[in-house]
Structure 1
Amino acid sequence: MNQIASISVYVHDLGAAKRFYVETLGFVVEETMGDYGFKLSHPGVSLVVLSGGKRAEPGYPAGVVLGIPVSNAEQAAQRLRKAGATLVIGSPEPFPLGRFIAAADPSGNVVELLELTQP
């Protein structure tokens, strides 16, 4: 068990999830699986989105959080606001490798957008 086969996100609305991940975050649909879900790609990572998710409680869920690098956290927050996304952390906050903001997808899964200033 020394590799990861997939990263999956369970959602309650496949259409809303597809709009969020594709139109708002820039993922590309790699494969569709009917009513079951779809596979997305983003430079360097693939993500499987599956039907049947339970909405997360407010704040961060006890689960997988996706981290996507961005060149500017403020601009990323503006883009997400313009797209109507729910921001969990809307103003950049520091962390050891830079700054980040966080948004929730339509099912409540948290996605962090990371402005990396340290390698």
Structure 2
Amino acid sequence: MQRITVVSVPVSDQEAAKTFYTEQVGFKLITESRFGDELHWIQVGPADGEASLTLVTWFDSMPPGSLRGLVIDCADLQADYEAMRARGVRFLGPPEQQPGGVFAIFTDPDGNQISLRQAGSPAGEEQGLIRR
């Protein structure tokens, strides 16, 4: 195994989610295609990222809004936070130090929660917050 390339994000409306992730979050549209009569593949992601998101409606075990724990590293978390807020993205709060680094969590229109993390921020272990 080498890397994770695609993470499925459960959404209720793929077109609305595509607009949110491309226009408000600032991701680029990587791939969009139809397969079968009713399935629509929409893949978005950071312009320079290795991994991307696919906006899915077809997994019964993944209801819209159920995604938690996805972390995206940012070169400048504060700048990304401010730019995304200016485009209408809702955050649970401002960036703050937590175990594992400095994070800011945003929600998409379905309630999925995605964490932005300051790349290279001190992890909890380095601050004595996490012990092994």
Q: TM-score, normalised by structure 1?
A: 0.73
1:87 correspondence with 2:96:
no
> Residues 11-44 of structure 1: CA distance to partner in whole angstroms, max 9, x if unpaired?
0122221122112333222221345241123311
Give identity over the alignment, percent: 27
Question: For the residues of structure 1 that align with 2:7 and 2:50, how far apart are their CA atoms?
Answer: 13
Amino acid across the alignment from 1:112: S
1:108 correspondence with 2:114:
no
User: Where does residue 20 of structure 2 map in the other structure?
Assistant: 20
Structure 1 residues 86, 6: closer, same or farther in 2, change over 3 A? same
1:40 correspondence with 2:44:
yes
Question: For the residues of structure 2 that align with 1:50 and 1:110, how far apart are their CA atoms?
Answer: 15
User: Where does residue 54 of structure 1 map in the other structure?
Assistant: 63
Normalized per residue, the structure richer in strand is 1
Structure 1 residues 78, 48: closer, same or farther in 2, change over 3 A? same
Moved over 6 A (4+): none
Amino acid across the alignment from 1:54: P
Amino acid across the alignment from 2:25: L
Deviation at 1:71, TM superposition (A): 2.8
Q: Does the 8 Å CA contact 1:41/1:47 hold for their aligned counterparts?
A: yes
Please give the root-mean-square deviation of Cα atoms over the aligned residues, in Å.
2.7
Q: What residue ranges of structure 2 are gaps of 5+ in the alignment?
A: 124-132
Q: TM-score, normalised by structure 2?
A: 0.67
> Residues 27-82 of structure 1: CA distance to partner in whole angstroms, max 9, x if unpaired?
222221345241123311122111357343xxxx5x44321122333322222221
Question: For the residues of structure 2 that align with 1:5 and 1:84, how far apart are their CA atoms?
Answer: 27
User: Where does residue 76 of structure 2 map in the other structure?
Assistant: 72
Amino acid across the alignment from 2:118: E
Amino acid across the alignment from 1:86: R
